[in-house]
Amino acid sequence: MGRKYRIAVIEGDGVGPEIVSEALRLLGELGFDAEYIKIDAGWKYYEETGKPIEDDALDKIRSTDALIKGPVTTPVGPGTYRSVNVYLRKTLGLYANVRPFKSFKNVSLRELDVIIVRENTEGAYSGVEERFDDKAISYRIITRSATERIVRFAFDLARKLGRRKVTVVHKANILKESDGLFRNIFFEIAREYGDIEHDEVIVDAAAYKLVKRPQIFDVIVTPNLYGDILSDLVAGLVGGLGLCGSAQIGENYAAFEPVHGTAKSIAGKGIANPIGEIRAAALMLEWLGEKYSDEKLKKLSRAINSAIVRAVEEGKVLPQDIGGTAKTVDVTNEIIFKSKTFLKHSP
């Protein structure tokens, strides 16, 4: 019998609870053996308790093998709580935000296969801000240690996955010190990876080129804010935010979530696209499978990803955000059915 995993779960806000429960149902149906430890966090919890996340959340999370989460509301502006996501990334040391994007035939606006690796702990999200009456200052911190770590991560990932090129996206022509440091460290480290091509693109040109000709990109490594913005842009090209999943990886721990937010206007209607959350679950299985040399989990992850591609490209059971009429539960059922078929026919 395989290992029984302990997984922390944050259901989140808006559509979070309905898509997280679907992803966990799918994992159960496909034989993933896990004990789930629920952590309360987000807007609803804040309204009830005055706190954005449980006091002992970190201890509970650290006692588990990985965290799967739904989107959590981050209120806008001063006077409210700071992002639960940023708090978790920093305290758990989840320094690499990895977002793989691959186009679907018949659905995507462009043909592409791009992985965005975003520095996840500093940059514009350092959280160091000051306000002086009508002037506000945000510190955009870039350090050598965090930059070396994320750049090495991107090159190692490219090598592991047999990818051809890593591109650094920055704005070092204007932000000469901060982005200049990020860029220069990238070129220093690139020399250690002679087998992988490397180049650079300024962030505004990157937005343009991603739309015009995304095929020129392979793996992108970039500071925090650019990665956040560009990944929504690429999600749009793929066909919708609801299709894309994300991994946040540290030295010994990782968290998995969809790329999208709480999609409040469709919450509770049973029509949210569950695929981003299911992709997150598949990324979790892949990471756990590597960490614990668990071949069963790797196989499960491959089956789920193949099932998603087949379901979306076949187009018979599509969620509403990509032009279909299917309910959340029907989309999950379709992916469960197709995953089981892939599992039956794979060695």
Query: Which residues of this chain interact with ligand NAI, rule CB under 6 A?
Result: 15, 71-74, 85, 241-242, 257, 260-263, 265-266, 272-273, 276, 321
Q: Which residues does residue 138 pair with via DSSP β-bridges, in sequence order?
A: 129
**Shortest CB 88 distance to ligand NAI, Å:** 10
**Shortest CB 81 distance to ligand NAI, Å:** 11
Q: Taking the CA of residue 171 as centre, how many other CA atoms within 13 Å lie in the half-sphere pointing to its CB?
A: 14
Token pair listed for 83: 């992002």
**Shortest CB 308 distance to ligand NAI, Å:** 13
Q: Which residue in 281, 270, 280 sits closest to 325, CA to CA? A: 270
Pairing of strands 254-258, 34-38: unpaired
d(CA 186, CA 336): 41
Residue 234 and residue 103 in contact, taking contact as beta carbons nearer than 8 Å: no
Helix or strand holding residue 114 (H, E): strand 113-119
**Shortest CB 320 distance to ligand NAI, Å:** 7
| Closest residue to ligand NAI in the complex (CB) | 261
**Shortest CB 262 distance to ligand NAI, Å:** 4
d(CA 157, CA 155): 5
Q: Which residue in 116, 330, 137, 314 sits closest to 228, CA to CA? A: 116
